[in-house]
Structure 1
Amino acid sequence: MLDVHTHFVPRNLPPPDDDAVRQGWPVLRERAEAVDVVQRGAVIRTLTAGAWDAGARVADMDRLGVARQVVMPAPFTFLYDADERIATRYAAAQNDVLAGLVGAAPRRLLGLGALPLGHPTAALAEIRRIAAEPGLLGVVIGTHAGRHQLHDAALDPVFGALERHDLAVFVHPWQPLAAGRTAHHGLAFGLGRPVETELAVGSLVFGGVLDRHPGLRVCLAHGGAGIPSLRGRLRNGWLRRAVADRVPATDPMEALRALWADGLTYDGMALALAEDTFGAEKMVLGTDYPFAAQESEPGASFADAAARSLLADGTRWPHRTHRNALAFLGQSPEHTPEPAHDTLEASQ
């Protein structure tokens, strides 16, 4: 299995000054065999070695039956709302650590880097650095960039650069809208974040980003959230617009099939609807390793759907999702080495 949705947190990135801490630079506090991640004075995660150490991560992969992982920064490290100095410095430093992590097990790990997306000019410079790193095959971005929605003109050069450099783009929820309405009573995970993914699709598909940049390869987290169940309503609204005003240019049912989606739905029926929406050739495996939200068994939602005969390829989903993931990453199956146990050169 190839797991497209995993995260890491750099262990040794001390904040340069107190201002960086105030603006959200994560601070790690050691305790026993775990590390607390502190942001703006609050503990937001407690993590163990798999979050930063290549050896521990690969050992977990072997235990879980995962051949390869795509590793990306965690959304709380995006820092889009920090000033340009802090956001740019953290993204660059984090990408350097990620390149080292991937380089420690190059036949098992692939990377998606971070961008200071709230500052488009700085993001362009970081895209050039990422494109020069052989183990980094794309970027992870949030569902918005703070002051910019994904369809804002200010971000068009960023998407243009990602398209030119042939970099994959994974879209992950960040800072849920109206937390008082979408994140109360512990609903940030189950409601606030999925709503963010739906709004991102509003920008990418109905805001014209994919029309303007048809070469982009974009994968949505969490099965595309509620988009599969909303597709008929989205299409009906599109049909009622004047033809000259319609975005996307093609029928939304077809336009949505330009997107990939991971299968982290926690429900086989929901995954089957996602597959029907995006296409069997666009579904990939994602687990959210190493966070508490990770599936108890990688691919549990696929296995559930397959057991109920809901998937196009049935029990062949591990093979299909592996090939789909390589396509999303821009890798040729014919020229991709089979996963093997690496001799770890370093641990981060």
Structure 2
Amino acid sequence: MYDFHTHFIPSDVLAWLKDNQRTVNAKWIKKEEGKDDFLVVNEKWGFELKRAFIDENKYLAEQEMAGVTHSVISPIPQLFMYDFPDEIVTEISSVYNRSLAEWTHSAPERLSALGTVPLTNPVLAAKVLHDAMNLGLKGVIIGPGLEGQMLSDEFFIPFFEEANRMKAIVFIHPLLCEDPRLKRRMMPNLIGVPWETTVCATDLLLSGLIDQFPDVKIVFAHGGGFLPYQIGRLDKGYEQWTLVSSKLKAKPSEYLKRFWYDTVLWNQDSLDFLIKNVGDERVVPGSDYPFDLCVWPPTGKHELAGRSLLE
């Protein structure tokens, strides 16, 4: 069984964070007894730095115990570092990508990995993506855009051109939503995270970008957010408004089948609905391991989708 959606922080990345602690305002905070320190970078989205995030042996042992035969490792969203200058983001991307490549080379039958890129500079991001795939990574994980910039904007074309040329996996993972209405009851994580995916996925679908760059393998985290559930509304808008249909060659529900989605939904009925609408070959098993809201063990086998993405 595959686990397409996992996260890890190699020792070289931790060492980089400690060496650059002041530059990136990294803090290790003890929040409560019995828990590991929380890592907070630049006063952003903190998380518990569990051993599974940083201990290769524990990571591999727990994946094996869950019945996972091949894991895809991604950098953590908290270390995308998009709020720092290009040189900082590029440096940590290089350290992260090289470290993950070295680990996967040590166990290629069990591990694959995605890298990270300085998305704030798409020309530079294209180069880092190219270098990462030459190291043996399968593609990259990126956020759902930047402040004031959607991924369908012309600004990102250099990155998508290279991703298309390299036939890269581009795993789009949300960051916490900044909507002020969600500042309570854990809603930034509960609904803000899938909402960010929903906005990004809907924009990419309606933009026609997948026709422009057909060889990019775009994967949406957390089952595509709320988009699959509302695809009928998009189809109706396609019939009604040229602003919706002008860049598309088919109705939105057909484009829905040209992306990939993970199974991080925690609900079998929701997963069955997704599979019915996009096809089993477009749904990859994932867990979001080892974050608190991970689906553990990952749901379903879905070998066909895993192989089609990685081969």
8 Å CA contact 2:239–2:245 kept in 1: the answer is: no
Q: CA deviation at 1:32?
A: 9.3
8 Å CA contact 2:238–2:244 kept in 1: the answer is: no
Gaps of 5+ in 1: 303-317, 332-348
Partner of 2:92: 90
Partner of 1:209: 209
Counterpart check, 1:12 vs 2:15:
yes
Summarize the Cα distance change of 1:41–1:214 in structure 2 as closer, same or farther, 3 Å threshold.
closer
Summarize the Cα distance change of 1:183–1:228 in structure 2 as closer, same or farther, 3 Å threshold.
farther
Alignment of 1:163-202 (within 5 A): 163-178=164-179, 180-202=180-202
Aligned residue identity for 1:220: F
Q: CA deviation at 1:244?
A: 9.7
Summarize the Cα distance change of 1:34–1:272 in structure 2 as closer, same or farther, 3 Å threshold.
same
Of 36-45 and 87-96, the range deviating more from structure 2: 36-45
RMSD of aligned C-alpha atoms? 2.3
Alpha-carbon distance in 2 for matches of 1:198, 1:43: 20
Partner of 1:296: 296
Partner of 1:268: 268
Q: TM-score, normalised by structure 1?
A: 0.81
Q: CA deviation at 1:18?
A: 6.0
8 Å CA contact 1:99–1:111 kept in 2: the answer is: yes
Gaps of 5+ in 2: none
Alpha-carbon distance in 2 for matches of 1:112, 1:137: 6
Summarize the Cα distance change of 1:211–1:269 in structure 2 as closer, same or farther, 3 Å threshold.
same
Q: TM-score, normalised by structure 2?
A: 0.91
Counterpart check, 1:141 vs 2:122:
no
User: Partner of 1:38: helix, strand, or coil?
Assistant: strand
8 Å CA contact 1:80–1:146 kept in 2: the answer is: no
Partner of 1:310: none
User: Partner of 1:13: helix, strand, or coil?
Assistant: helix
Alpha-carbon distance in 2 for matches of 1:183, 1:74: 22
Of 282-291 and 37-46, the range deviating more from structure 2: 37-46
User: Partner of 1:106: helix, strand, or coil?
Assistant: coil
Partner of 1:229: 229
8 Å CA contact 1:9–1:74 kept in 2: the answer is: yes
Provide, for residues 245-277 of structure 1, a one-character-per-residue CA deviation record: whole Å limited to 9, x for no partner.
523221111111001111111111111111122
Aligned residue identity for 1:169: V
Counterpart check, 1:327 vs 2:308:
yes
Q: CA deviation at 1:106?
A: 2.1
Summarize the Cα distance change of 1:287–1:243 in structure 2 as closer, same or farther, 3 Å threshold.
closer
Q: Which structure ranks higher in relative contact order (CA pairs < 8 Å, sequence separation ≥ 6)?
A: 1
Alpha-carbon distance in 1 for matches of 2:19, 2:255: 44
Summarize the Cα distance change of 1:211–1:19 in structure 2 as closer, same or farther, 3 Å threshold.
farther
8 Å CA contact 1:80–1:87 kept in 2: the answer is: yes
8 Å CA contact 1:144–1:174 kept in 2: the answer is: no
